[in-house]
Amino acid sequence: MRPTGKLHLGNYMGALKNWVELQDNYECYFFIADWHALTTDYADPSQIAPNTIEVMLDYLAAGLDPERSVLFLQSRVLQHAELALLLGMSTPLGWLERVPSYKEMQENLTNKDLETYGFLGYPVLMAADILLYQADFVPVGQDQQAHVELTREVARRFNQFYSLNGCEVLPEPKVLLTPSPKLPGTDGRKMSKSYGNTILISDPEPVVRKKLKTMVTDPARIRRSDPGDPDKCPVGDLHKVFSTPETLVKVYEGCRSAGIGCIECKSWAADALLKVLQPIQERRAKTTEEQAIEILEAGSRRAAVRAEQTMVEVREAMQLTLSTVEVG
Ligand code: SF4
């Protein structure tokens, strides 16, 4: 994840929660992509370091475990830059210009000049992030699959040019499709930091309740006596993700018959959210910033050891080692 601020419920349900579960069955590497943050925030990098610490606190609070997974900071593992540079040599420019998010972000982030080499090249850096660990799988939601596909193409092209003793150095990673439920923000659009409609996983109870109170509802339900439809209401969508089947029945019946008011319905949604958030927030309160930094530095050292193993093979495959050159 890019360190652009504290993580929100959308980040949790779409990624973090899955990652925590993956730790039981896979050897996992999770990182904070501070160089990726620079691709859009290069003009003002002042928030990247403080945000890195916040994201790390959120990772640990959600249940990522440094005993079972490697948690690290991208910029501490210089091999990411080296592999990105080398992959960039063989990656066609057209592939990068065609990445849908390239045009999309340029159009959406109009307050930033994204006509830069770094921004165009971010998918190459992303490919390096994955291929550096010779990963079997990349856990992503449906909307992220295209990114992994590009990484696979970058690897395929590399392997066409270079190999080591007839073997591929950069295996193509597979997509590990993980659930990413539709999670609306308080304005009904997809929950996203750029829309300013998020509920943070570190928001205290009164803030969560206040945000829920202002959340938009089924537009057809204007008066208390009007029946509504939870399927047309963002609060209904939250219930579908977080509430128990019993509560869901009450919501559907009460909303469609105008038997309940939206305020009551929202307070049930807040209860359900807080049930998920409370254990996370309790864990967050027990970790200091110093501990988070220490864990991140230690994880980065572990990641660098694994990354270097790959780079030894990559350098050799690309004939960048002098040992094979006859001197004289
Ligand atoms: S009762 Fe609940 S589901 Fe129905 S419109 Fe109000 S907030 Fe939405």
Which ligand 1 atom lies nearest to the CA of residue 215? 7
Which residue ranges have their beta carbon within 6 Å of ligand 1? Answer: 217-218, 221, 228, 230, 233, 235-236, 251, 255, 260, 262, 265-266
C-beta of residue 34 within 8 angstroms of C-beta of residue 122 = no
| Number of residues that make up the chain | 328
The letter for the amino acid at 34 is D
Check residue 326 and give its pLDDT: 55
Question: Measuring from atom 7 of ligand 1, which residue has the nearest CA?
Answer: 262
Distance CA 155, CA 148 (A): 10
Kindly state the tokens that stand for 319.
């004939």
DSSP 167: B
C-alpha of residue 236 to centroid of ligand 1, in Å: 6
pLDDT tens track, the chain, 328 positions: 999 889 999 999 999 999 999 999 999 999 999 999 999 999 999 999 999 999 999 999 999 999 999 999 999 999 999 999 999 999 999 999 988 878 787 877 778 888 899 999 999 999 999 999 999 999 998 888 888 999 999 999 999 999 999 999 999 999 999 988 889 999 999 998 888 999 999 999 999 999 999 999 999 999 999 999 999 999 999 999 999 999 999 999 999 999 999 999 999 999 999 999 999 999 999 999 999 999 999 999 999 999 999 999 999 999 999 875 555 4
C-beta of residue 69 within 8 angstroms of C-beta of residue 30 = yes
The letter for the amino acid at 43 is A
Check residue 211 and give its pLDDT: 98
| CA angle in degrees (0–180, nearest 5) for 134-13-143 | 60
Kindly state the tokens that stand for 285.
């309160």
Q: Pairing mode, if any, of strands 137-140 and 174-177?
A: parallel
Residue that is written with structure tokens 């029945």 in the block: 249
C-alpha of residue 235 to centroid of ligand 1, in Å: 6
- CA dihedral 142→147→152→155, nearest 10 degrees, is -160
